[in-house]
Structure 1
Amino acid sequence: MTLDLIAKEALDGKRLVVVGAGSRTGRRIARTASAAGAHVVLAGPDAAKLRETADALPGPSVLHPTDLADEDTIVELAARTGSFDHLVSTAAMPANGPVAELELAAVQRAFSAKVFGPLLLAKHLAGQAREGGSFTFFSGVAAWRPSPERVVMATTNGALAFLVEALAVELAPLRVNAVSPGIVDSGAWDGLGDRKDAFLSGIAERNPARRTGTPDDLVRAVLYAMSSPFVTGTVLHTDGGGRL
């Protein structure tokens, strides 16, 4: 089944909240959902990027600037959103670098995006989810395959994996899951310049799947998490086996 058909079956006529809708992955999810017939609520800290996403959608959307480090904006998002079917958050705020050089404010922002923010989204919006609804958050392969100068990334992604298990139990029957991407050619690696192709080729050679990921791989994982009524408290490792 094509991605468009999967999305149509999962989201036609549904109301989807996308937190992090100004990011590349969030925008891809929002565009796929809109094309499938969903009404999309776009949330994120940068109003200009949300507008860019909205302008790229074929269907209706509403914008709610939201900062996961600011609970008041999450309260406002809940008040303005009303009832909905699914929520997905791609939010991330990396705080990379040697432990000896980490700044507390950057670490706190990283936890706000991956741990505190998802917890507050659940606090304020879970009661508005319709029957059969779900929350899907983004973790990451660094939690299972840590590397130097990625201590905060590994810790926040790991904490989120445990958070979805706890929320799935407490918020049941609302389903709560996470998608954990590996190395995905989403544009995030473009800064490597001429080294990008060699980097991605090296990842593909080591991955059991023998390739790197694409944005559509992540969209498929999100759609699976949203549409599978017997899947909750689960981390969907969308990493080509990279964590192994």
Structure 2
Amino acid sequence: MVGLRDRVVVVVGRGSGIARAVALAARDAGARVVVAGRDRQKLADAYQGEAGITAETLDLTDEASIAALAERLRAGGGVDHVVSTGSVRAKGGVADLDRETLRLSFDTKVIGPIMLAKHLAPLVARDGSFVLFSGVSAVKTRVDWLGVATTNGAVDSLTRSLALELAPIRVNAISPGTIDSGAWDGLGAEGKAELFDTLRATLPARRVGGTEDIAHGVLFALTNSFLTGVTLHIDGGEPLT
């Protein structure tokens, strides 16, 4: 096991939900955290007052933006770990999906992390790592989740490929199940409550996951020096149902 004290961890994503939980957990473990997203000022405001966390600009769909961040990190002395939580859901049945939605999903969650590896791996310490985000739909197929499932399956494959290519830098993925991260708020209070009640009754874990469950998994992936090429399924047993 390796610790995170005084290590630099880059967390790509929003200032809320899973990305925020990961950033705060890494900071609390002693890391210096760089949060990166399209709106640097919005991120900076979201983490205002949180010591040890700085904000940077990054667009996963723009290679020039990724290269520019790499240069700024190089000037700052490099990086130890990179966590990419960025996601765009291409949800809908095959008859409803359009090319642009699918492209954006792959660009954000698959091509973007490849470009992160291309530009940031030269800066990452040899005992450092990348953590990508897959999802339970890669192993539990459902109607209307074709685009999401295919994207997440590609992330799992990418994780194994990068683990070989970037070695000894480690590469792992986190595959969350249904998490109370704010992502389901669009269902409305009643719809969300109904979904979560169903999950509490059917999941082997008998509860809905929280962002802290995912953050703990990310810390494990960051600090276990013998873990690479693995997708950690933190899903309460959802694929079994």
TM-score by length of 1: 0.92
Identify the residue that residue 179 of structure 1 maps to in structure 2. Answer: 174
Q: Which of 212, 225, 230 matches 1:229? A: 225
Aligned residues: 236
Identify the residue that residue 168 of structure 1 maps to in structure 2. Answer: 163
User: 1:84-233 maps to which residues of 2 (within 5 A)?
Assistant: 84-192=79-187, 193-233=189-229
Q: Is the 8 A contact 2:160 2:229 kept in 1?
A: yes
SS at match of 2:3: helix
Distance in 2 (alpha carbons) for counterparts of 1:214 and 1:183: 9
SS at match of 1:137: strand
Following superposition, the deviation at residue 23 of structure 1 comes to: 4.1
Identify the residue that residue 38 of structure 1 maps to in structure 2. Answer: 31
Distance in 1 (alpha carbons) for counterparts of 2:41 and 2:89: 21
Q: 1:171 to 1:205 in 2, by over 3 A?
A: same
Distance in 2 (alpha carbons) for counterparts of 1:60 and 1:71: 24
Following superposition, the deviation at residue 127 of structure 1 comes to: 1.2
Give the letter aligned to residue 192 of structure 2. K
Q: 1:46 to 1:146 in 2, by over 3 A?
A: farther
Q: 1:202 to 1:46 in 2, by over 3 A?
A: same
Q: Which of 44, 50, 68 matches 1:57? A: 50
Q: Is the 8 A contact 2:35 2:53 kept in 1?
A: no
Distance in 1 (alpha carbons) for counterparts of 2:22 and 2:42: 14
Q: 1:56 to 1:21 in 2, by over 3 A?
A: farther
Q: Deviations over 1:42-84 (max 9, x none)?
A: 11123343123331522242x2211111100000111111211
Give the letter aligned to residue 231 of structure 1. L
Q: Is the 8 A contact 1:74 1:120 kept in 2?
A: yes
Give runs of ≥4 in structure 1 deviating > 3 Å. none
Structure 1: any 5+ residue segments left out of the alignment? 1-5
SS at match of 1:55: coil
Distance in 2 (alpha carbons) for counterparts of 1:128 and 1:110: 27
State the structure with bigger RCO (CA 8 A, min sep 6), 1 or 2. Answer: 2
Q: Is the 8 A contact 1:15 1:86 kept in 2?
A: yes
Distance in 2 (alpha carbons) for counterparts of 1:130 and 1:21: 25
Q: Deviations over 1:72-107 (max 9, x none)?
A: 000011111121111101110111122222221111
SS at match of 2:179: coil
Q: Deviations over 1:114-165 (max 9, x none)?
A: 1101111111111111131000011000111121111110000000001000
Q: 1:230 to 1:123 in 2, by over 3 A?
A: same
Seq. identity, %: 44
* 1:25 to 2:18 alignment: yes
Structure 2: any 5+ residue segments left out of the alignment? none
SS at match of 1:115: helix
